[in-house]
Amino acid sequence: MSKDIRTERVQFARGATSAVVEGSIKGYETVDYVLGAKKGQYMNASMATDNTGNYFNILAPGESEVAMFNGSTAENQYEGSLPASGDYKVRVYLMRSAARRGEIARYRLEVAITGPAHGNGTSAGTGDAKVPGTDFNATGEVPCARVAGQPMHQCRFGVVRQGGGSGWITVFWPDGGNRVIYFENGAPSRYDESGADGGAKMSVQREVDLFMVRIGDQRFEIPEAALVGG
């Protein structure tokens, strides 16, 4: 049976680097979420679903069938630097066995695209080299907690430095998704409010060379050196 492919363009809010879409499919229904990006930018995509046969693939610009990423072999979590400029398709579907049974899947897809696309190995306005294979000037781990009462654990991060003590840090949750925190004059100043918790209160407390950041129930401990180097 042929697929019924529906196409929806993902719109990012002004100033946002990520977007969340929620939806459902049944049987052979398939949705292509289309979003534009540039070569060298960094994409993080993850999906939560109530059906174990529900996955997403990512198709590069110009492709209609061949996927550059297959969620069924990577637990619905993609992170990587994009190979070309153009429209990418995030294709959400049910495996053939589940589709044949007419099963329903309800899902929540989060996609983030970060980093300017300069393609010259450095960030604009700085001489700060990129980490090979990424669009980040530095990567590592920071203590973090996603929900109230949760003990701190380690989250991977990538930081983009734009010079003058400004840029952004993307913290990747171990269970999927991320939080983007912008910084100015070497200190956290705001966060990407495009997610479901947009509008949550943000507070920043400095302890020597460590920033204690709270966004709603989320907590982060971010060293100053992670933001500005050194």
> What CATH number has the domain bearing residue 70?
2.60.120.380
Residues 109, 142 within the same domain: no
pLDDT bin (cut points 50, 70, 90) of residue 15 is low
Q: Is residue 59 part of a domain?
A: yes
Q: Which pLDDT belongs to residue 96?
A: 92
Residue 91 has pLDDT above 90, yes or no: yes
Contact 58, 11 (CB under 8 A): no
Residues 84, 173 within the same domain: no
Q: Which pLDDT belongs to residue 195?
A: 65
Residues 148, 221 within the same domain: yes
Residue for token digits 């003990």? 151
Cα 36 to the chain's mean position, in Å? 14
Q: What is the rounded distance in angstroms from the CA atom of residue 183 to the CA atom of residue 185?
A: 7
Residues 13, 77 within the same domain: yes
Evaluate the CA torsion angle 199, 205, 210, 216 in order and state its sign. Answer: negative
Residues 214, 154 within the same domain: yes
Structural tokens at position 124: 């604009």
Q: What is the rounded distance in angstroms from the CA atom of residue 89 to the CA atom of residue 92?
A: 9
Contacts of 96 (CB under 8 A, 6+ apart): none
β-pairing, 178-184 with 166-172? Answer: antiparallel
Alpha carbon of 151 to those of 8, 144, 145, 179, 199: distances in Å? Answer: 38, 8, 6, 18, 24
Lateral strand order in the sheet of 42-49: 18-26, 104-114, 42-49, 77-81
Q: What is the rounded distance in angstroms from the CA atom of residue 230 to the CA atom of residue 226?
A: 8
Q: Is residue 98 part of a domain?
A: yes
Contacts of 111 (CB under 8 A, 6+ apart): 10, 18, 19, 21, 33, 35, 43, 44, 45, 90
pLDDT bin (cut points 50, 70, 90) of residue 125 is very low
Q: Which of 63, 80, 114 is the last residue of a domain?
A: 114
Range of the domain at 17: 4-114
Which of 59, 9, 70, 57 shows the shortest CA–CA distance to 34? 9
Which of 18, 26, 194, 213 shows the shortest CA–CA distance to 222? 213
Residue 5 has pLDDT above 70, yes or no: yes
Q: Is residue 80 part of a domain?
A: yes
Question: Considering its fold, how many domains does the chain have in total?
Answer: 2
Q: Which pLDDT belongs to residue 17?
A: 79
Q: Is residue 193 part of a domain?
A: yes
Average of pLDDT values for 167-191? 89
Q: Which pLDDT belongs to residue 3?
A: 61
Looking at per-residue pLDDT, the higher value among 115 and 109 belongs to: 109
